[in-house]
Amino acid sequence: MENVLILDGSKVASEIKDQLQKKVEVLTEKGIVPCLATILVGDDPSSATYVKMKGNACKRIGMISKRIDLPKETTTEELLNVIHELNDDENIHGILLQHPVPAQIDERAAFEAISIEKDVDGVTSLGFGQTALGFGEYPSCTPAAIIEIIDYYNLPIEGKHAVVIGRSPILGKPVSMMLLNRNATVTTCHSRTQNLPQIVKQADIIVAAVGKANFVQGDWVKEGAVILDAGYNEGNVGDVDYDACFAKASAITPVPGGVGPVTISMLLKQTVAAAEKISVKTQL
């Protein structure tokens, strides 16, 4: 299509961070510095890079980033003890457990141990349930980023047919619920879905969250669809065949520079919101 709208996530993220920086300054003057604790178990290089990026993003807007590095031999019990300590620390406002953790750890038990007030990454089942019911305060950050981008560009959701490709508990499922709560008609597709191209071709909004490079093909997309690519694969490519889908779309996120930067901004935004709640409590 002509005049395709590039959904510039870097621009959206930059504006969010500017707003957050001002909020952090106000909180700091009150003696509350928003703090995100990030737990990294083991020495996975990709995870270490993600944690470093999140830490740098915190520092740039005046937040504190507390990084906890644990050895790869860490047990579930040892990890739970660390999480409980962070839950009890009044100076910590958000807790992020970097995924994946080593195989011997019960990751779900670790996620569930995070206090709902500090679950700024939206990984607990309670947080997911609240998001699904429409009153979750801290949804998973990538779904939150997708909705943020849609809203920033004033793209309509109500009455549209959204097709979500992927059903992970921190992306496909929550974004399906969030779109449904905004009155979209939602089809969630996955590895067992039959006739996937035909289903995608019905979509007004496509969310690609499957983790496979260039998975969504141009001939799957109907003219004028809005495409949000939440994938990031080797070679800096998303889950969508960008050039082929660009020709059909009315709006599309690039990779990199689309959903990714906004995801980190949502993590910061939700941590600042958690700190603001503490601020309100201390004033009462």
Tokens of 263: 């995801």
- Find the Cα–Cα–Cα–Cα dihedral 147, 131, 19, 63, rounded to 10°: -130
Active-site option among 8, 17, 23, 98 = 98
Give how far the C-alpha of residue 95 lies from the chain's centroid of Cα atoms, to the nearest Å. 14
Based on the residue annotation, tell me whether 17 is a catalytic residue of this protein. no
CA-to-CA dists, residue 68 to 55, 79, 147, 153, 275, angstroms: 11, 10, 30, 37, 20
Tokens of 109: 């038990």
Based on the residue annotation, tell me whether 248 is a catalytic residue of this protein. no
Give first-to-last CA distance, the chain, whole Å.
55
CA distance linking residue 212 with residue 199, whole number of Å: 18
Based on the residue annotation, tell me whether 98 is a catalytic residue of this protein. yes
- Alpha helices (runs of H) in the chain, residue ranges in sequence order: 9-29, 45-60, 76-88, 107-113, 125-133, 141-152, 172-181, 196-200, 242-246, 259-283
Whether 16 and 265 have beta carbons less than 8 Å apart is answered as: yes
CA distance linking residue 111 with residue 99, whole number of Å: 10
**94-97 and 226-229 beta bridge pairing:** unpaired
What residue type is 252 in one-letter code? I
Active-site option among 17, 23, 54, 173 = 54
Pick from 17, 56, 23, 25: nearest CA to 38: 56
- Per-residue DSSP letter, 94: E
Helix (H) or strand (E) holding 251: strand 251-252
User: Would you please indicate which residues are annotated as catalytic (active-site) residues?
Assistant: 54, 98, 121
